[in-house]
Amino acid sequence: MSPLPILLICGCRRYKEYLTAAIERFGRQTGWEVIGVVGDTETSFDPDTRVLTVAAKDTYETLPAKLHAAFVWISKHRPLCPGVFKTDDDMVFDRAVLVDTIYSNLAVPYWGVKVDACSAGVIEKARIGDRFLNKTVTPTHQAAVYCYGAGYWISARALKVVIAADDYRSSYIEDVCTGFVLNRVGIVPQRIRVPYKEESRTPDLLLLK
């Protein structure tokens, strides 16, 4: 059997129950390996809960460092996987369609459910809202053509580029930074339509099947 693509769900310890529910929800669909990621002081993987804990702060402004650590772990422990589809614990997809779409586009280096472009500059407050714990920073981001963090695919080839990017961990906005480091080696994302919806973290989301 060929190695499975990885469905990587980004969560945090504060909303652990939503990550657990998302892992269970996505895990009902075959065709991928589901892994959830949170940050803490040490790196470990629990095969029973499917939660990968990485040595990175579990905050929104350090999300690039957390994702980078997860990508490094995947490269080391799942070296033959064809790629990673990253999403969040509050995203709802037609799972069967998503699996089919991933397998139909395994060779595409970088694609996502929504693609945009931005110029380098100060991050808009509307983008970060109250999610930054440090209210004194005025964070900036790079210029990029990028996929929204709601859902994007990075092939094994593109994953190596992201892992090798020393400036990835020090960035503030994960999805823009992913686009930035891939753009500079000539990889520009494709938009591939997959039905999805972002849900509020409410008890209803925990009950979704």
pLDDT digits (tens, 9 = 90+) for 12-58: 999 999 999 999 999 999 999 999 999 999 999 999 999 999 999 99
Predicted confidence at residue 1, as pLDDT, reads 67
Using DSSP, state whether 65 is helix, strand or coil. Answer: helix
Q: Give the range among 40-44, 113-117, 165-169, 199-203 with minimum mean pLDDT.
A: 199-203
Using DSSP, state whether 182 is helix, strand or coil. Answer: helix
Spatial separation of the C-alpha atoms in residues 92 and 79, rounded to whole Å: 28
Predicted confidence at residue 181, as pLDDT, reads 98
What distances in angstroms separate CA 95 from CA 29, 91, 122, 188, one per listed residue?
A: 7, 11, 35, 25
Spatial separation of the C-alpha atoms in residues 206 and 22, rounded to whole Å: 8
What distances in angstroms separate CA 9 from CA 21, 125, 134, 142, one per listed residue?
A: 11, 25, 24, 24
Q: Which residue has the higher pLDDT, 153 or 59?
A: 153
Q: Which residue has the higher pLDDT, 203 or 84?
A: 84
Partners of 52 in the β-ladder: 37, 45
Closest C-alpha to 6, from 206, 153, 157, 191:
153
Predicted confidence at residue 207, as pLDDT, reads 87
**Domains annotated on the chain, with CATH:** 6-111+149-168+190-207 (3.90.550.10)
Indicate the length of the chain as a whole number. Answer: 209
Band (pLDDT 50/70/90 cuts) for residue 135 is confident
Band (pLDDT 50/70/90 cuts) for residue 106 is very high
| Cα angle: 109, vertex 111, 115; to 5 degrees | 140
Spatial separation of the C-alpha atoms in residues 61 and 131, rounded to whole Å: 8
Looking at the predicted structure, is the pLDDT value of residue 130 above 90?
Answer: no
Percent of the chain exceeding pLDDT 90 equals: 85
Looking at the predicted structure, is the pLDDT value of residue 132 above 90?
Answer: no
Q: Give the range among 31-45, 87-101, 124-138 with minimum mean pLDDT.
A: 124-138
Provide the token pair at 119: 């110029």
